[in-house]
C-alpha cells in the first residue's frame, strides 16, 4: 500500500496533494478497471461502492475486479418501484455483496420537512453510517452529469475518506457503449425520459436534450442531494433520528 498519512478524522488514510495530483494524472489516461484495481488493492475490504440503480455500469466494472466488493444502496423509502425492481435485478445478476441502508417511514414524513433536511437525514446520514469502518468509497459520479460535477476528480478526499470516481471522465456515449457491449441492467425509467433518477417526489422526466439533472428537485435551486459534495454533513445523525435502522436482505 502506498504511504498515507492519518487524516483529519484521526484514523483515515489521507493522500497528500501531490499524491492526489499524480494519481489523477495517471488515471486520466487509464481504463476505469485500472482505477478500481488500484482502489481494491489499497483499501479492500474497507472499501464500498455506492449505487443509485440508474444503471449498473459501475457495479459491473467493480465486480469484474472484486466480486465481493460491498455495494451500498440507500433506500430512502421514496424510490420509484422501477428503481427497487432494478436493485433486485442487479442483485441477482451479479450475486452482489449488497448492503441496503433503509430509512423506515418516520412518524412525520421527512419529505414534508423540505428537501434539504430530507436529503440530509435520509441520504447523507445513511451514507455516513454506511461508511463507518471504511477507509474509502467509490461512486459512479461523472463530470458529464451536470455543471456542478464538471470538475469531479477521479481520486479525492470526501467524507473523511478517500473517494474514487472511476468513470468521472466518461461521456454519455462511453456509458451507452459499455452498457450495450456488456448487457448491463438499466433502470427502465431511463427510457421514459429520466436520465437521472432520484426519489419519486423529487424527480421528473425531462425533454430530450435538456439538462439531465433538470428533472431533479424541479423548480428549486437544489441540484445535489449532498452525498457527493464536500460541504454536506460529515458525521452521522443517527442520534437525532433513532428510528433509522439498517436492513441487510438475504
Ligand atoms: S431526493 Fe427527495 S425524497 Fe429523496 S431524500 Fe432527497 S428530498 Fe428526500
**Number of independent structural domains in the chain:** 1
Structural domain boundaries enclosing 175: 5-240
Residues contacting ligand 1 via CB (< 6 Å): 76, 78, 110-111, 115, 118-119, 122-123, 198-199, 201-202, 225
Q: Annotated catalytic, 118?
A: no
Could you tell me if residue 247 is inside a domain? Answer: no
pTM: 0.85
In this structure, are residues 159 and 131 in contact, taking their beta carbons and an 8 Å threshold?
A: yes
Residue 211 pLDDT level (bands cut at 50, 70, 90) = confident
Could you tell me if residue 250 is inside a domain? Answer: no
Residue nearest to atom 1 of ligand 1 (CA): 199
Residue nearest to atom 6 of ligand 1 (CA): 119
Instruction: Give the Cα separation of 6 and 18 in Å (integer).
Output: 16
At 5, give phi and psi (nearest 5°). Answer: -90, 165
Q: What separation in Å is there between the alpha carbon of 121 and the centre of ligand 1?
A: 9
Could you tell me if residue 248 is inside a domain? Answer: no
Could you tell me if residue 20 is inside a domain? Answer: yes
Could you tell me if residue 213 is inside a domain? Answer: yes
Which of 108, 202, 219, 224 to mutate for ligand 1's pocket (most ligand atoms within 8 Å of CB)?
A: 202
Could you tell me if residue 100 is inside a domain? Answer: yes
Could you tell me if residue 125 is inside a domain? Answer: yes
Predicted confidence (pLDDT) per residue in 32-72, tens digit: 999 999 999 999 999 999 999 999 999 999 999 999 999 99
Could you tell me if residue 245 is inside a domain? Answer: no
Which of 73, 80, 109, 111 to mutate for ligand 1's pocket (most ligand atoms within 8 Å of CB)?
A: 111
| Whether the predicted pLDDT of 221 surpasses 60 | yes
CATH label of the domain that carries residue 58: 3.40.50.620
Amino acid at each position: 500500500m502506498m504511504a498515507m498519512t492519518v487524516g483529519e478524522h484521526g484514523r483515515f488514510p489521507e493522500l497528500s496533494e501531490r499524491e492526489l495530483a499524480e494519481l489523477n494524472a495517471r488515471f486520466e489516461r487509464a481504463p476505469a478497471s485500472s482505477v478500481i484495481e488500484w482502489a481494491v488493492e489499497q483499501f479492500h475490504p474497507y472499501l464500498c461502492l455506492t449505487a443509485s440503480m440508474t444503471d449498473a455500469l459501475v457495479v459491473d466494472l467493480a465486480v469484474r475486479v472484486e466480486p465481493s466488493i460491498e455495494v451500498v444502496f440507500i433506500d430512502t423509502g421514496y424510490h420509484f418501484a422501477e428503481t427497487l425492481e432494478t436493485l433486485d435485478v442487479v442483485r441477482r445478476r451479479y450475486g452482489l455483496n449488497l448492503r441496503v441502508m433503509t430509512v423506515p417511514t418516520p412518524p412525520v414524513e421527512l419529505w414534508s420537512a423540505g428537501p434539504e433536511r430530507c436529503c440530509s437525514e435520509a441520504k447523507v446520514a445513511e451514507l455516513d453510517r454506511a461508511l463507518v469502518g471504511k477507509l474509502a468509497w467509490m461512486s459512479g459520479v461523472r463530470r458529464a452529469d451536470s455543471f456542478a460535477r464538471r470538475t469531479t476528480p477521479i481520486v479525492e478526499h470526501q467524507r473523511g475518506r478517500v473517494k474514487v470516481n472511476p468513470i468521472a471522465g466518461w461521456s454519455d456515449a462511453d456509458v451507452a457503449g459499455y452498457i450495450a457491449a456488456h448487457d448491463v441492467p438499466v433502470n427502465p425509467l431511463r427510457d421514459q425520459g429520466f436520465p437521472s433518477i432520484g426519489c419519486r417526489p423529487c424527480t421528473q422526466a425531462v425533454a430530450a436534450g435538456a439538462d439531465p439533472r433538470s428533472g431533479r428537485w424541479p423548480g428549486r435551486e437544489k441540484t445535489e442531494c449532498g452525498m457527493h459534495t464536500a460541504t454536506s454533513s460529515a458525521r452521522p445523525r443517527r442520534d437525532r433520528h433513532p428510528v433509522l435502522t439498517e436492513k441487510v436482505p438475504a
